[in-house]
């Protein structure tokens, strides 16, 4: 009975506090005992529950008061990322984004578009044609099918086919780049937050990650320059267009500043252009298109927009860097499936490919706006910037949020979300969720946001 009574008092006080001014004094314990017909112990339990949620503060000898809420902006602890660096003995586990979800839940956690957003007809037709060709028998060259190399080079506009190495997906490409250009025990600068797969690849290779705080506009060039000087690093991993998870797109000016910094320190920028085909309100311009001296090692994957089953990526690098990357892939995989390369090339060279991308842009815009509007309406205290492309919303929650409990409560209620902690190479600087707006059943987004909001305040 005591538990039920304290919960009832909490609910009643929250209703009263919703209309009270910050700093208003709550009724005394004696008044609450008389009003609710309970013991002082039950009242104190209810007040402790409110205090644990950051809703009230107790002043000994004076009383209990409604806590003032800071609404201007969340705390910014990003500077500590650069000051502290990466923790020792940190080895990330597989991300929540890779978990399968039951069919009866609302899935906002995945890192991939759902089936109805993919060019299924083009992919099926490409597999049929490839199965009738010699690619099912022939062994492809280690660097890749020449026609696919030429396509990647033409897409970037400043490369030649001989600069391209084909990989079985971007994850394999990242591991190869980190091994070939950085090496175990050596420093790698990395945006924070950033793609969890890059964090995992760096840990597997054994490189020493050095986090560079990245805010709403991207990384701070001054912090980047100081990190190069302090660590002696010779590589910086970044996602300049629609970064995963934040959705940030670098300005042209920032791209030039970062590239100048990289050149000045005789280093590489490892540019992960994972969302090249996922622009919504802007068109991405790779930093690699500005580079003439081989400072940018460029990685582009087709997996997100062709099919998760067609794991094909292209790395564009020049000079000895390209030779080291090629040597690494020869030792790891020898070559990439000619069948998958033929399918990818068939899909992206069909006239219908451009039509598909235009339609995809419209669908992503509608889904993004629907989920962003629902989060703003139903999740109290949430902060988000609507991205110009990509697949995700990066949602900042109140600093008092118990994130693991929230994720569990959301899943119990029927919505699967990805905790933002997994995208930080060092300690997270706030409480975040990454929500994918390209998943199945977009009509359920408002319901999902309501469930997240209810779990947040429960």
What are the beta bridge partners of residue 433? 395, 419
The pLDDT value given to residue 280: 98
pLDDT band at 84 (very low <50, low <70, confident <90, very high): low
Task: Evaluate if residue 231 carries a pLDDT over 60.
Answer: yes
Task: Note the pLDDT tens digit of each residue in 182-205.
Answer: 999 999 999 999 999 999 999 999
Out of 95-109, 219-233, 298-312, pick the least confident: 95-109
pTM of the shown model: 0.81
The pLDDT value given to residue 100: 73
The pLDDT value given to residue 71: 47
Count of Cβ atoms closer than 10 Å to residue 224 Cβ: 26
Task: Evaluate if residue 78 carries a pLDDT over 90.
Answer: no
Task: Note the pLDDT tens digit of each residue in 358-367.
Answer: 999 999 999 9
Q: Kindly report the average pLDDT of the chain as a whole number.
A: 91
The pLDDT value given to residue 60: 79
The pLDDT value given to residue 252: 97
Task: Evaluate if residue 232 carries a pLDDT over 60.
Answer: yes
Q: What is the mean pLDDT of residues 408-436?
A: 94
The pLDDT value given to residue 72: 46
Task: Note the pLDDT tens digit of each residue in 116-157.
Answer: 999 999 999 999 999 999 988 988 888 999 999 999 999 999
Q: What is the mean pLDDT of residues 11-29?
A: 88
Task: Evaluate if residue 1 carries a pLDDT over 60.
Answer: no
Pick 273 or 328 by higher pLDDT: 273
pLDDT band at 83 (very low <50, low <70, confident <90, very high): low
Share of the chain above pLDDT 70, in %: 93
Provide the token pair at 419.
């905790």
Task: Evaluate if residue 393 carries a pLDDT over 90.
Answer: yes
Give how far the C-alpha of residue 7 lies from the chain's centroid of Cα atoms, to the nearest Å: 37
Out of 72-76, 168-172, 360-364, 367-371, pick the least confident: 72-76
Provide the token pair at 202.
């760096």
Cα–Cα dist 405/458, whole Å: 11
Share of the chain above pLDDT 90, in %: 75
Q: What is the mean pLDDT of residues 350-359?
A: 97
Length reported for the chain: 458
The pLDDT value given to residue 265: 97
pLDDT band at 334 (very low <50, low <70, confident <90, very high): confident
Terminal CA-CA length for the chain: 20
The pLDDT value given to residue 88: 58
Q: What is the mean pLDDT of residues 7-28?
A: 88
Task: Evaluate if residue 92 carries a pLDDT over 80.
Answer: no
Task: Note the pLDDT tens digit of each residue in 275-317.
Answer: 999 999 999 999 999 998 999 999 999 999 999 999 999 999 9
The pLDDT value given to residue 328: 87
Ranges 35-49, 66-80, 109-123, most confident: 109-123
Tell me whether residue 232 is exposed, middle or buried, using C-beta atoms within 10 angstroms of its C-beta: 0 to 12, 13 to 18, 19 or more.
exposed
């Amino acid at each position: 009975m005591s538990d039920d009574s304290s919960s009832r008092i909490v609910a009643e006080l929250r209703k009263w506090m919703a209309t009270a001014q910050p700093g208003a004094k709550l009724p005394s314990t004696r008044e609450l005992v008389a009003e609710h017909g309970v013991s002082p112990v039950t009242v104190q339990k209810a007040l402790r529950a409110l205090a644990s949620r950051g809703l009230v503060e107790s002043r000994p000898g004076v009383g209990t008061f409604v806590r003032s809420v800071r609404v201007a902006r969340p705390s910014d602890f990003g500077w500590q990322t650069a000051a502290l660096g990466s923790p020792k003995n940190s080895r990330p586990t597989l991300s929540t984004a890779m978990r399968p979800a039951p069919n009866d839940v609302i899935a906002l956690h995945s890192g991939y578009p759902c089936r109805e957003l993919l060019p299924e007809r083009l992919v099926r037709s490409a597999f049929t044609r490839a199965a009738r060709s010699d690619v099912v028998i022939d062994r492809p060259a280690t660097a890749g099918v020449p026609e696919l190399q030429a396509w990647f080079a033409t897409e970037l506009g400043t490369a030649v086919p001989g600069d391209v190495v084909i990989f079985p997906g971007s994850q394999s490409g990242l591991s190869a780049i980190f091994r070939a250009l950085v090496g175990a025990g050596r420093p790698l600068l990395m945006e924070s937050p950033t793609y969890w797969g890059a964090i995992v690849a760096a840990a597997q290779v054994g490189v020493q990650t050095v986090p560079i705080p990245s805010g709403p506009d991207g990384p701070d060039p001054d912090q980047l320059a100081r990190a190069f000087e302090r660590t002696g690093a010779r590589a910086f991993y970044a996602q300049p267009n629609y970064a995963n998870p934040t959705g940030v797109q670098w300005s042209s000016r920032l791209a030039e500043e970062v590239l100048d910094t990289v050149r000045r320190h005789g280093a590489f920028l490892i540019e992960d252009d994972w969302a090249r085909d996922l622009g919504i309100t802007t068109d991405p311009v790779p930093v690699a298109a500005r580079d003439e001296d081989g400072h940018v090692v460029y990685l582009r994957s087709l997996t997100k927009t062709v099919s998760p089953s067609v794991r094909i990526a292209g790395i564009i690098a020049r000079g000895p860097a390209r030779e080291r990357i090629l040597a690494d892939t020869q030792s790891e995989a020898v070559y990439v499936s000619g069948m998958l390369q033929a399918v990818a090339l068939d899909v992206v060279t069909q006239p219908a490919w451009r039509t598909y991308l235009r339609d995809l842009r419209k669908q992503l815009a509608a889904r993004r706006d629907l989920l962003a509007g629902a989060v703003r309406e139903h999740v109290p205290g949430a902060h988000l910037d609507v991205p110009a492309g990509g697949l995700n919303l990066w949602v900042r929650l109140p600093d008092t949020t118990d994130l693991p409990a929230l994720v569990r409560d959301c899943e119990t209620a029927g919505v699967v979300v990805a905790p933002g902690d997994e995208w930080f190479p060092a300690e997270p600087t706030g409480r975040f969720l990454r929500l994918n707006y390209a998943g199945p059943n977009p009509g359920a987004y408002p319901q999902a946001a309501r469930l997240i909001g209810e779990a947040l305040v429960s």
